Structure 1
Amino acid sequence: MPEGKIIKALSGFYYVLDGEDLIQCRGRGVFRKRNITPLVGDYVEYEAENDKEGYILSIGDRKNELVRPPISNIDQAVLVFSALEPTFSTMLLDRFLVLIESKNVEPVICVTKMDLVEDSKGLQAFMEDYRTIGYTVVETSSEKMEGLVALEDYLAGKTSVFAGQSGVGKSSLLNAIRPELELKTDEISSSLGRGKHTTRHVELIPLSGGLVADTPGFSSLDFDGIEVEDLSDCFPEMAERSAACKFRGCIHLNEPKCAVKQAVEKDEIPSYRYDHYLQFIEEIKERKPRY
């Protein structure tokens, strides 16, 4: 049975790359009955009616998957955040990071539109915080073509998903690296104060010796599937200190001799990261149970 990899999903069709052949496939009805949706990134077996059309018969095991954006089997997530327009948000970045960490996917933080910042001291301080935690942070400007080579080095040989808020410049960034892509871009909506959605589907694109996915932008994340006791594992600087807490299973709220709270008091953990952690804890507690 021929095998391939889904590189695009659009309007109920799945485009399977098998060598140099691209087969437009539909999913068998059995997937709907089992509530399984083929994802971009899936390795599949398919049956071809001809050299252009076919049906997906089975989906291979996934090493990971994301819901928004819907993609599987990725090596890293490039989280694209703009310095301005829209303004850099540590709260939103931490939401993305928690989701990515919960899926055991390696994150790369990419800050775009650095050319728009006149005084970057405050922003640089934030970026240094994330570097100290252990995250990779790349500063770029599509307008001035800065930082693109450094970003390409991280893309080489890997399957990467580009994700971030609408209007931060994901498509512009990919166009700057590879102009022939001609991905559609748009400006920030003046009435809404946020980006207009320009990318309408997920598609894997060969780039820099790897594959990258340009995805629809989105501006909110929930924490479905993440429990209160697991949240600190999604904050690396907390996870590495948890073993030093007095009580096993410490969730770093009101427990005495908590190593995480002590680190916050000593400014070893940024206070805003801990504040976000507390807010996320409340959101998870308030989450309505599903029946």
Structure 2
Amino acid sequence: MPEGKIVKALSGFYYVLQDENLIQCRGRGVFRKNKITPLVGDEVVFQAENNLEGYILEVKERKNELIRPPIANVDQAILVFSAVEPDFSTVLLDRFLVLVEFNHIEPLICITKMDLTNQDQKKQISEYAEQYKRAGYEVILTSSETEAGIELLNPHIENKISVFAGQSGVGKSSLLNVLRPDLELKTNGISSHLGRGKHTTRHVELIRIGNGLIADTPGFSSLEFTNIDAEDLTYCFPELQKASENCKFRGCLHVTEPKCGVKPAVESGEIPAYRYEHYLDFLQEIKDRKPRY
């Protein structure tokens, strides 16, 4: 049976790429029965009577998957956040980072619209960038308007499946248009009334850029820690995980426990206070979550 990769899901159809052929497929009823939903990025076995139409018979084992956006087998997440319009949000970025870390996906932080910043804003964004770099993240500052920093993205895209994710209105589609001008993806500015972007991407699709594949995903602004337990959260903050090696007690949650290794690192400024505050907020959110049965 032929095999391929789902590169687009739209209106109940799955578009499977095999070599250079794109076959429009439907899922067999057995998937619904077994509660399996094929995702963009899935490696699948399919059956096709011709090059245009077929059926997916099997979804191969995934190395990872995201629920929002719905995509599988991702190598890295390029988290696109604007410096302004909408304003840069560390708490929203940290929510994305936690989910990406939990799913064992390599994150890359891309801050856009640097051309719109004034001197104070540019300084503040640069400080944030340095703090995230010290935590262990790769950070690239870009502008789709001037194309500054875009060349730094290309090496990270090669031979990988990447997901572009971030709040709507931050310029994901604009960035993709610079990386591949022939795409001519629709873009919209942010709503002056709502202060956030209008959604321009309506479905998940893998787009070839060089030797890599990038998923432009629908924008969203709320993320839930559905499958993350309190004990997992430290491992989703690299600098907290490193500092926790100095905790005296196993399972330390870095709240009220004695001889914690994290709190001194926060007090000394080694860990930014806002990162620790976000950790505490997320921890409380996980503790308050209704139990799953």
Using the size of structure 1 for normalisation, the TM-score is 0.99
Q: Distance in 1 between matches of 2:247 and 2:127?
A: 28
Q: Distance in 1 between matches of 2:140 and 2:188?
A: 23
Counterparts of residues 210-289 of structure 1 (less than 5 Å): 210-289=212-291
Secondary structure of 1:191's match?
coil
Q: Distance in 2 between matches of 1:57 and 1:177?
A: 35
Q: Distance in 1 between matches of 2:109 and 2:286?
A: 25
Secondary structure of 2:153's match?
helix
What residue is the counterpart of 1:208 in the other structure?
210
1:24-58 per-position Cα deviation (integer Å, ceiling 9, x unaligned): 00000110111110000000000103221000000
| Unmatched 5+ stretches in structure 2 | none
1:117-176 per-position Cα deviation (integer Å, ceiling 9, x unaligned): 012111111110000111000010000111111011111111100000000000000001
Percentage of pairs with the same residue: 67
What residue is the counterpart of 1:31 in the other structure?
31
Counterparts of residues 131-170 of structure 1 (less than 5 Å): 131-170=133-172
1:181-236 per-position Cα deviation (integer Å, ceiling 9, x unaligned): 11111111122110000000010011022110100000010101000111010000
Q: Distance in 1 between matches of 2:15 and 2:193?
A: 37
Q: Distance in 1 between matches of 2:288 and 2:19?
A: 48
| Unmatched 5+ stretches in structure 1 | none
What residue is the counterpart of 1:88 in the other structure?
88
Q: Distance in 2 between matches of 1:50 and 1:125?
A: 56
What residue is the counterpart of 2:44 in the other structure?
44
Q: Distance in 2 between matches of 1:128 and 1:148?
A: 19
What residue is the counterpart of 2:75 in the other structure?
75
Using the size of structure 2 for normalisation, the TM-score is 0.98
| Paired amino acid for 2:170 | V
| Paired amino acid for 2:60 | G
**Corresponding residue to 2:190 among 184, 188, 192:** 188
Secondary structure of 1:205's match?
strand
Deviation at 1:243, TM superposition (A): 2.1
Secondary structure of 1:35's match?
coil
Secondary structure of 1:241's match?
helix
Q: Distance in 1 between matches of 2:166 and 2:183?
A: 19
Q: Distance in 2 between matches of 1:153 and 1:164?
A: 21
Q: Distance in 2 between matches of 1:208 and 1:250?
A: 45
Q: Distance in 1 between matches of 2:177 and 2:139?
A: 20
Secondary structure of 2:264's match?
helix
User: RMSD of the alignment, in Å?
Assistant: 0.7
What residue is the counterpart of 2:173 in the other structure?
171
| Paired amino acid for 1:254 | T
Q: Distance in 2 between matches of 1:270 and 1:51?
A: 55
What residue is the counterpart of 2:130 in the other structure?
128
| 101-110 vs 150-159, which moves further | 150-159
What residue is the counterpart of 1:197 in the other structure?
199
Deviation at 1:290, TM superposition (A): 2.7
Q: Distance in 1 between matches of 2:14 and 2:85?
A: 34
Runs of 4 or more consecutive aligned structure 1 residues displaced over 2 Å after TM superposition = none
Q: Distance in 2 between matches of 1:172 and 1:18?
A: 28
How many equivalent residue pairs? 291
